[in-house]
A and B are shown apart, each in its own frame.
Chain A
């Protein structure tokens, strides 16, 4: 009797052991990771077109072409029929066209023997061409929802084809890693924006206000950060670009300059350069009645780091005073230029004026929130710049 019971027990345990266990277990070597994602306007690649002709397609609208950068490439076998560039560089780019991003992602499984996972996605690049047609909210919906993709991945815009940015680079370098690491240069120059990760993007999209995203340009197989694209808040679409100087000016207004330079020409028309050591800026919204105006106060300390003007002695106080004035004027010009661009050309606020207003005058902000870009473009802004040169480096000449 006991033996029978033991037998039954063994059977049950055996069933449990064999039928269960390791549901989610996927060995890491059977996976590849996509570390970069480029979204382009939906134009099927030549390979896809060929496959479609053979009747290999599925019902879809060709709205986006997604290119993923997959690492690592299996080294053992020689896959000669790989598409896209970057072959032999330790990564592989795959493109696929469709209208649902997840479906497109899963579509890769039809081509690759390894499943592709998104935990390590580092960078998303969207071409400005696509984002002119589709709102960013729609494009980012999947990546924000997905459980694999971490919100730490950063978002960039690309002026050309987004997938080209995933090709560019010296050999041996994986472009997605390079693009991901580049915003860290923010501490060297104000021309690079702080990386916008998905959480930040989520909050920007959710606030329904206009914002800017870093742009990448490619030329000659090299990707470079240059300027920023403006996304209009209410439509979520791209409306235009700012150049590097404008990006830097925005950083000045926001007080987000960590280490940058201002180059200027002195009274002898010789270049001289100011290295920012520290800065503070404050946007002061003034509300008189219904009349809104902004004052931006910028204070900075720094050092005279380069001076081509051999006539002058940088250790002299009056020279430094004069130089300070020159630098202040240069920055003012930059800021004015930016303001004109924002208020007249694009008619948007992307430099944090709205946020400050909402903090200082929440009631008024509530009234103008929905048409803030229009209101801003008619609001007078004055700048107040104060530079102090505290030292002149290790050369006293």
Chain B
């Protein structure tokens, strides 16, 4: 380290700083290790007085010999290293902007997470009003009529139970009762004569009120699905969802005899996750069918299904499915805790559940995987994950999710391992491309022409000659129109959709090049990006990458390749912080779990995958016997 004073010689001119030799000549032998405690930059000033050259902004050079002069020079040297005021302003900005961002972020997060606070009281209030049926037939019937009788599709069928001589009523919603069942198994039995005479003789009299329901259930009604309800609130709900209720005189409860007959869709192939090879089975909207589909995947006593009711006003069933003695109990507990916390008046789709139980609401990455495929769910369960199935949607949720899962397809396992591995590598590559290519394009075209091969650079210059826009605008124009096209294509019916694709993709692209709005090279870039993003098997993950791509483009437009790298680092930093139900999002890459690498970039032969994923910390580790 030389005389720092001499450093000033080269001045602020950018070109001159390479001229290191000239300064080093002056200060070569002036090496001094000392004085670290003072300001480090100014510490090496113990030089020969004659050597001290003072740097002033104007470049005036002064030599000092006297001791007083030396102190003065020393001081002014320190002063000269104190930056100008704009630097301090910038330093202030360095502090201020993150602080502002931090508080905005905190404020936003608190707003988002506390949004449901008020409704908690509401549920408490509604629960209190739930009263029980009295057993007084007229009073009960009146109260029901009062509460829900204003529905015109609600029907009351009053009649008399022939043998017992008591009054009864069937309450149902028009169009949702199962006529056949009610007619043959309920009405006929109750109104008919003679069939159960001996029993009446045995009983000799009417059973007491509290045993009446049991009596009906055990002796009279030959129906499998039957449920007893005592709360009026509950009864109202059940009736309105389509159950047929039987109200009997003197019985302090109602019996639900018929299940709602709602129309369900037939099982079809999942459209969002089509496979060439693999089961053609997809979930439907009915929870019972979905759980039964899971049960039918194989015989086991390990699979457990627990039901929760979610939604405060409109209630729905949510099933938590897991493999007992595989899943980590802590994970299960965490999932149950979060499910129990769900507080919203209506859960329309499993997307609601996903958003209500996720770890980081401000992350662009999804923290639960949604799927229509039972085979995917069952595979996840076997790896020690937990599935959440909501009534009314064919999309099941799998938690926890890791980044690598988003780029995997069940087909990887169904095809032989080499093909599976190659396809998986291809997808990783495609994901990287769809995220980075536009930013790389901008940084190359607008910032670093020196990094492109010469011939390519010449071609690009020639093709871009007529394009009047900077690359950012150019790429935004095309990217945004592709996004619009994609959005439009989803909405339109299939035949028109493909026609749209041709018109949009081919004709507009060609015309845009002809008109000189974009360069042909860009059309290639954008279409490669679009194709790459289509190859991501998870639709939601594709959206994430599409969204981030635009962010990356702005980073690149500001700082070129440095901006692109910053963007990449930022995403990586975010991913390292992100956890899905306590599992680091990018494991097994980091924290590194080499065992799990068998199922990361490549899909090892099945015989080699002896263990369940290490990251899930499963109870039973081995896959093989």
Contacts and interface: CB of A to CB of B under 8 A. Distances in A.
User: Within the complex, are A and B direct neighbours (CB within 8 Å)?
Assistant: yes
Interface of A: 9, 20-22, 24-29, 31-33, 35, 71-72, 74-76, 102, 117, 119-120, 122, 145, 148, 150
A119 B458 CA distance: 12
Contacts of B467: 29
Contacts of B452: 28
A13 to B, nearest CB: 9
B62 interface: no
B461 A9 contact: no
Contacts of A75: 462, 465
Interface size class of B (residues with CB under 8 A): 20 to 34
Counting chain A CB atoms within 10 Å of each CB, the highest count among B19, B454, B460, B465 belongs to B454
Nearest to B18: A145
A71 B458 contact: yes
B449 A22 contact: no
Contact of B450 (A35, A71, A72, A117): A117
A9 B93 CA distance: 12
B557 A22 contact: yes
B448 to A, nearest CB: 8
A76 B450 contact: no
Interface of B: 15, 18-19, 100, 444-447, 449-452, 454, 457-458, 460-462, 464-467, 470-471, 557-558, 560
A28 B459 CA distance: 11
Given A33-B457, A76-B465, A120-B454, A25 B15 contact: no
Nearest to B452: A28
A27 to B, nearest CB: 5
Nearest to B96: A12
Given A9-B100, A72-B462, A31 B558 contact: no
Contacts of B450: 117, 119-120, 148, 150
Contacts of B462: 72, 75
B551 to A, nearest CB: 15
Given A22-B557, A27-B471, A145-B18, A33 B449 contact: yes
A35 B461 CA distance: 14
9 contacts: A25-B557, A28-B471, A29-B460, A29-B467, A32-B461, A33-B454, A72-B458, A119-B450, A119-B451
B461 A117 contact: no
Contacts, number: 71
Contacts of B19: 145
Nearest to A5: B100
B46 to A, nearest CB: 33
Given A24-B560, A25-B557, A145-B18, A31 B461 contact: yes
Contacts of B446: 22, 25-28
State the 6 A-B residue pairs at the shortest beta-carbon distance, nearest first: A119-B450, A29-B464, A120-B454, A25-B446, A28-B449, A21-B558
B530 to A, nearest CB: 23
Contacts of A21: 557-558
Contacts of B445: 27-28
A180 to B, nearest CB: 9
B464 A35 contact: no
Contact of A28 (B15, B100, B457): B457
A24 B447 contact: yes
A27 B470 contact: yes
A76 B454 contact: no
Contacts of B461: 28-29, 31-33, 72
Given A25-B560, A27-B445, A119-B449, 20 more contacts: A25-B446, A25-B557, A26-B447, A27-B464, A28-B444, A28-B446, A28-B457, A29-B461, A29-B464, A29-B467, A31-B461, A35-B454, A75-B462, A75-B465, A102-B15, A117-B450, A120-B450, A120-B457, A148-B450, A150-B450
Contact of A122 (B449, B454, B465, B558): B454
Contact of B464 (A26, A28, A148): A28
Contact of A31 (B444, B449, B471): B449
Contacts of A117: 449-450
Given A28-B461, A145-B18, A76 B466 contact: yes
A9 B467 CA distance: 36
B423 to A, nearest CB: 36
B458 A33 contact: yes
Contacts of B460: 28-29
A393 B454 CA distance: 40
Given A31-B461, A74-B465, A25 B470 contact: yes
A28 B560 CA distance: 13
A5 to B, nearest CB: 10
Contacts of A32: 461
Nearest to B554: A21
A75 B461 CA distance: 11
A77 to B, nearest CB: 10
A159 B517 CA distance: 48
A316 to B, nearest CB: 51
A115 to B, nearest CB: 10
Nearest to B442: A25
Nearest to B471: A27
A107 to B, nearest CB: 16
Nearest to A180: B454
A75 B15 CA distance: 34
A22 B458 contact: no
A216 to B, nearest CB: 20
Contacts of A72: 458, 461-462
B457 A29 contact: no
Contacts of B560: 24-25
Contacts of A145: 15, 18-19
A34 B471 CA distance: 23
Nearest to A9: B100
A33 B461 CA distance: 10
A28 B449 CA distance: 6
Contacts of A122: 454
Contacts of A22: 446, 557-558
A28 B558 CA distance: 16
